[in-house]
Amino acid sequence: MNRTAPRQASARTNSRKNQSTTSPRRDFHSEKNSVLLNRAGKNDNEFRRGKDSSADSAKNQSQYTFSDAVGLAALNAGVREQLDTADPHCPLTAISYEDELKLKLDAVKAFWKVGHLPEALVREIIPSPMGRPCRMTSKRRVVITKNGRVRFTMGYTGMNRKETIESPIEPAMHGELYQWLHSILVSAPYAPLARHLNFIVIRGNYESITLILNLFRLDAPTVRKVKQLAERVQAECPSVRSMFMFVDESRSEFYLESKATTHPFRKVFGPEMMDITVNDGKFLFPPGAFCQVNGSILDRFVGEAEKLLKPDENSVLYDMYCGFGLFGIAAGSRAGRVIGMDFNGPAIQAAMGNAAHIAPNRSIRFIAGAVTANAVMDKIPPRDEEDGSTELFLLDPPRSGIAANVIAAIAERKPKRVLHIFCSADEVAKSVNDWRHNGYIPVQARVFDMFPGTPNVETMILLERKAEQPREPRAKFSTARKSGRSERIEKAPGVSHRADRRRKRGIPEHNDNQHRGRSGFPASKRSGGKRPPRGQF
């Protein structure tokens, strides 16, 4: 082992860090994730093998993100330079969509290998039916420059501030609305409104739009300008179905997060609820509830979840992080009972309404509360082993991942199958490792291109309980090697192991009282009781 290897690796790391500060290569970001592999000190061949030869390989692998894997796959495919010059928020739009799917498949397999996951479970990346312009949710940060100019950007604080109006991963109707809003806000009469805006958010479906103005200050002049803008929107933008104000005095980097107000949403006009149709079911949900951004893939998404879980009339499906009830109602259509849980009160109310409207004759109920280990143990009904029902769990947590000890609490109930959904590929290895420690192993996987054009994928992993193998009692046998294999030989009582092995191998016993050497032959008296030289007996 080369003991100087760690020091040499560190020197290479420092030299590359110094080069990266002066290199014209840019770091690209989408949803606060780096796209390209700019990790200092990494050897591409080492990552291809799924390991690092440096002393702190474990630390380096923990810093190895899926975005890095995409960058490495692009390097191997010879398209890295194209990504370097692409839109920083959707760099994979620089190549064809077919090549993007191949690139992501290679990246997933390599990333799973580094994370010690069974990459053989990933056979394809399920494509987006609409391709890239599929996002039902988009946003623009409103930035006021030093000279008072209004700019729309897609970057967060301290990140890329390139002005962006239209994006290739969003429907054309989004770009048209942003262009119209920008022409309004740059005018002098709407300057008070522009100065108090954090974000402009567009949500909805592919037919209608909900416009949300994220404001950090809401005074009387701002409210008047919002009402004036609403009148123009209703008159000139027929695709906008409703409009809301969202008050965030803390100016969070997340466009629908508010810590300073209890009721941040205020309707300006239109219906209270948004809607989306999945598998012929129309789901209603409030503007602050979570919904997958790619509506075109949701039919396949929900259908695959149902195929993996295989619910029947004797099963109970627990939909953790249920939101407005999409999976519990759509994917659990064949389950005997469905119980959902989520912390968002308005979303739970919407889930109850959706269940009553879409599946009025089914046993579905929802629990409002944060998904924690204590909630799993206290709020979920105890398992009744006598009724013969099987438990199925579906988890669709936020990007930050699942709360501590929730996996252990669910594993204690010994469900038959668990379907864990990840919107961040970086969380897969950690959570699967936790499931393994609690007796569950991955048996199937589905990877969806939920975010075309960006280095992100959505992952479904089906886990089942490991079969418990009973331990065999230890037999009182000695083990001898014969012909390159182990065989068990019963030892005679009162006989040492060495003497027993000699007897079994046919080595003759000696009855004389002379001292014997290691060769088994009597030592010569002339040698003083020592073993004679080889060849002299």
Q: How many CB atoms lie within 10 A of CB 348?
A: 22
pLDDT classification of 250: cutoffs 50, 70, 90: confident
Per the CB < 8 A criterion, the answer to whether 461 and 422 are in contact is yes
Burial class (CB in 10 A: 0-12, 13-18, 19+), 107: buried
Q: What is the pLDDT of residue 42?
A: 41
pLDDT classification of 372: cutoffs 50, 70, 90: very high
pLDDT classification of 262: cutoffs 50, 70, 90: low
Q: Does 44 score more than 80 pLDDT?
A: no
Residue 200 φ/ψ, nearest 5 degrees: -115, 125
Average of pLDDT values for 435-453? 96
Q: Does 115 score more than 50 pLDDT?
A: yes
* pLDDT tens readout for residues 283-294: 999 998 999 999
519 vs 347 pLDDT, higher one? 347
Of the chain, the percentage scoring pLDDT greater than 90 comes to 60
Q: What is the pLDDT of residue 515?
A: 47
Q: Which residues, 6 or more positions from 472, have their beta carbon under 8 angstroms from its beta carbon?
A: none
Q: What is the pLDDT of residue 496?
A: 67
Q: Which of 105-109, 248-252, 519-523 has the lowest mean pLDDT?
A: 519-523
Per the CB < 8 A criterion, the answer to whether 429 and 442 are in contact is no
Q: What is the pLDDT of residue 9?
A: 39
Beta strands in 329-374 (DSSP E): 337-342, 363-368
Q: What is the pLDDT of residue 226?
A: 96
Q: Does 72 score more than 70 pLDDT?
A: yes
pTM (2 decimals)?
A: 0.76
Q: Does 337 score more than 50 pLDDT?
A: yes
Beta strands in 45-183 (DSSP E): 125-126, 138-144, 150-153
Give the single-character DSSP code of 531.
P
Q: Which residues, 6 or more positions from 147, have their beta carbon under 8 angstroms from its beta carbon?
A: none
Please count the residues of the chain: 537
Residue 111 φ/ψ, nearest 5 degrees: -70, -40
